[in-house]
Structure 1
Amino acid sequence: MNRYDEVLVALRRIIRATDLHSRQLSKVSGLTSPQLLILQLLRQHSELTVGEVAQRVSLSQATVTTIIDRLEKRALVKRERGSSDKRKVYVYLTDAANAVLLNAPKPLQESFVQQFQDLHDWEQTMILSALERVAYMMDAQHIDASPVLDIGRLDRTDGNL
């Protein structure tokens, strides 16, 4: 096998692992990875605006607004205007979200992050450099992406993988 074929196989394995995990997450919890990431973020921080959520998950505010709209329809989050500044709208978890989070599997990136952090600094730099180069070679350097291992549209409906 040519080296480029080996690289393409490795990329395909990464994509496939992400796909399988996303399907398992959706099957078990009914959530997409970005939805789970946002719910976990809201659990860690008691009071965030949509803009603050977007900034922390590295997604556009429009994408996060759509995701939060879907979570609100499922009664997993609620929005409330700030008491001191009525222009600000904060997003909060509901009790239903806390129950869902108890049973939700860990995001795929949690395992990756732990193993990545165990690597030496030079190994981390090599991996980052190689992946950035691959993204550039695939003309993907300008694609809006968050640190969420998931496939499909980030604001898709729950049943639509």
Structure 2
Amino acid sequence: MEKYEELLLALRKVIRATDLYSKQLNKTTGLTAPQLLILREIAACPAGITASSVAQNITLSPATVSNVIDRLEHRQLIHRERSTLDKRRVVLTLTAAGQARLADAPRPLQENFIGKFQALADWEQSQLVAAMQRIATMMDAEKLDAAEILEVGSYEQQKFNSR
């Protein structure tokens, strides 16, 4: 097997693991990975957080976050409210249903990965980071949204959202 075939096989395995996690997450909780990520971010700020702060904290575009927030609000998992201190600001908080859904959600796929990665020597961590950054560049993916939760989605949708 050629080296590039071995690399592509490994990438397909990562994509497949991510896809399986996303499907299981949706089946068990009815949430997508970005929805879970946003619920976790909102839960981390019980006094409320703005949509722009959520987008900045999880490194997704404001447009992507806004669309997900609309869906979460429609499902009554979050609540939007004007700030009492600054009427120009709208803060997001979890509803009781959102808190329950979050409590039932599984841990993110990458938590196991993070533990194993942090157990590696610094030089090996740096080598993996550099290699993955190069792969992202080779796949013209360096400008795509990069959520903290791994999820497989439509390339065209991610490409559109990164503009």
Q: Deviations over 1:74-124 (max 9, x none)?
A: 100000000010000000001001111121111112222222222221111
Per the alignment, residue 68 of structure 1 pairs with 69
| Amino acid corresponding to residue 11 of structure 1 in structure 2 | L
CA distance, structure 1, for counterparts of residue 124 and residue 100 of structure 2: 38
Structure 1 segments, 4+ long, off by >4 Å, are none
Q: What corresponds to 2:103 in structure 1?
A: 102
Q: Show the counterpart of 1:122.
A: 123
Q: How far apart are the structure 2 equivalents of 1:147 and 1:123?
A: 21
Root-mean-square deviation over aligned CA pairs: 1.5
Equivalents in 2 of 1:12, 1:104: separation in Å? 26
1:29 maps to what in 2? 29
Once residues 44 and 154 of structure 2 are traced to their aligned partners in structure 1, the CA distance between those partners, rounded to angstroms, is 25
C-alpha distance in 1 between matches for 2:21 and 2:14: 11
Comparing 141-150 with 21-30, which one deviates more in the overlay? 141-150
For residue 127 of structure 1, what is the amino acid of its counterpart? L
Q: Which amino acid aligns with 1:42?
A: I
Instruction: Confirm or deny: 8 A CA contact 2:38 2:54 kept in the other structure.
Output: yes
- The aligned residue for residue 159 of structure 1 is none
- Alignment of 1:18 with 2:18, yes or no, is yes
Task: Report how far residue 62 of structure 1 moved.
Answer: 1.1
The amino acid across from 2:74 in the alignment is K
CA spacing shift, 1:153–1:57, aligned 2, 3 Å: farther
Equivalent position of 2:87 in the other structure: 86
Q: Report the TM-score when normalising by structure 1.
A: 0.91
Q: How many residues align?
A: 155
Residue 134 of structure 2 aligns with which residue?
133
Q: 2 CA distance for matches of 1:147 and 1:96?
A: 23
Identity score, percent: 51
Task: Give 1:153 deviation, angstroms.
Answer: 4.8
Deviations 1:55-76 (A, max 9, x none): 0010111110110000001100
Secondary structure at 1:152's aligned position in 2? coil
Residue of structure 2 in register with 1:77 after alignment: 78
- For residues 124 and 43 of structure 1, the distance between their equivalents in structure 2, rounded to whole angstroms, comes to 30
1:19 maps to a residue whose letter is D
TM-score normalised according to structure 2 size: 0.90
- For residue 44 of structure 1, what is the aligned residue in structure 2? 44
- Whole-angstrom distance in 1 between the partners of 2:71 and 2:154: 13
Distance 2:112 2:98 in 1: 23
CA contact (8 A) 2:37 2:148 kept: no
